[in-house]
Amino acid sequence: MKFTIQRDYFIAQLNDTLKAISPRTTLPVLTGIKLDVFDNRLVLTGSDSEVSIEITIHSELNHEEILTVEDKGSIVLPGRFFVDIIKKLPADTVTIETNDQFQAKITSGQSEFNVSGIDSDQYPLLPQVSEEEAITLPVKVLKNIIKQTNFAVSTSETRPVLTGVNWLIRDNILNCTATDSHRLALRKLKLEDTNIDEINVIIPGKALSELNKIIGDNEDTIDIFFAANQVLFKFGHINFISRLLEGNYPDTSRLFPEISETALSINNGDFFHAIDRASLLAREGGNNVIKLSATDNAVELSSTSPEIGTVKEDVKTSKFDGTGIKISFNSKYMMDALRAIDVDDVRVEFFGTMRPFILKPDEDDNLIQLILPIRTY
């Protein structure tokens, strides 16, 4: 194989491909990037066997020549090391040529590298995802869904299904649920023009956060294809494939209480920063617990650590219904939830000191953050 490519564009695509590659892999060939050169295109593949990224580079981009192919062929080159070389080469273009011993000659300006590669036949085949059961989402919406739910997945492997986000499509509504059993995030989205009867899958949290990093701002929409144990996200010239988690996701629908005892509206930023400050002391004290006491027109936050000191914060509420309440919570869960809500006015509803409480955007039921309190009062 032999081709010449614009170095800057190549670097950007290689960086995206690297995102699927883990230095800790059981299969050594997966530390490499596979290059497949066809008549008028180059396909880059990176994979850690959980997530695979496949990027197609065509000869031309916006009527500008990016890639010139002289000879077709394939090779696997050592991932990070190869990308480091390409990044540091002196000229605007780079030429890569392989021989029968899987050696790649990389030339650019007065610089010449000869790098040992691996036969691409040793690279595992990527799963084929049928393109039947599909939905299309605006990129902005997908990024929002990931931001609003993904932080709440469990980081512990005790219950593997909880390390993923449950995507349930039923009655033309997409329900995305994540929980680590201390807090839960639920985002609902009405789907237009879908012929899907029912989809119920668990997408690994890690895959979604990698996906979030790789989706550029250039794309308008993303196509999502569901198969038995894979999901394919297709946008621009990139295919992003993730394995699905096996197992049954718990039914969380009955967790949501009906009628609140106390409900208030509060400024997101003021509330967030007050918790952030109180958590400095809560963290230093080692337990992250903040006490909240809500009365008619203000919320008082406090935390105490006998050896270190105390903190007290007051935040005004804009609406208040029901009775006063005292409740304690983990500051990290509260800050994560407020960050995910990301609108100026937040609605907080309490159902008693010992029961989970919920946060959502004021006047919007499509996003709900639920948090279990901590018993201290």
Site for its own copies, rule CB under 8 A: 78, 81, 84-85, 88-90, 103, 110-116, 273-274, 276-277, 280-281, 284, 307-315
Q: How far is the CB of 89 from its own copies (least distance, A)?
A: 7
User: How far is CA 316 from each of CA 5, 106, 236, 301, 328, rounded to the nearest angstrom?
Assistant: 59, 64, 46, 11, 18
| CB-nearer residue toward its own copies: 19 or 277 | 277
Residue 310 CB neighbours (<10 A):
12
Distances (CA, A) of 339 to 47, 149, 151: 31, 11, 10
Nearest to 328 by CA among 367, 267, 285: 285
Nearer to its own copies, 138 or 309 (CB): 309
The sign of the dihedral angle between the CA atoms of 316, 319, 325, 331 is negative
CA distance 260 to 323: 10
Q: Which is nearer to its own copies, 196 or 308 (CB)?
A: 308
CB of 30 to its own copies, least distance (A): 18
The whole-angstrom separation of Cα 281 and Cα 302 is 9
Report how far residue 14's alpha carbon sits from residue 96's, in angstroms, rounded to the nearest whole number.
14
Residue type, 347: R
Single-letter code of the amino acid located at 82: F
Smallest gap from Cβ 310 to its own copies, in A, equals 5
Which CB sits closer to its own copies, 129 or 315? 315
CB of 216 to its own copies, least distance (A): 28
E strand or H helix at 333? helix 331-341
CB of 312 to its own copies, least distance (A): 5
Q: Between β-strands 32-37 and 2-6, what pairing exists: parallel, antiparallel or unpaired? A: unpaired
In angstroms, give the least distance from the CB of 375 to its own copies.
25
Compute CA distances 8 → 1, 4, 44, 89, whole Å: 21, 12, 15, 10
| CA 184/CA 369 separation, integer angstroms | 6
Nearer Cβ to its own copies (299/340): 299
Beta-bridged to residue 317, according to DSSP, are: 266
Residue with tokens 């916006």, as numbered in its chain = 62
CB nearer to its own copies: pick between 115 and 161: 115
Q: Which is nearer to its own copies, 145 or 292 (CB)?
A: 292
CB of 117 to its own copies, least distance (A): 9
CB of 321 to its own copies, least distance (A): 23
Of 126 and 308, CB closest to its own copies: 308
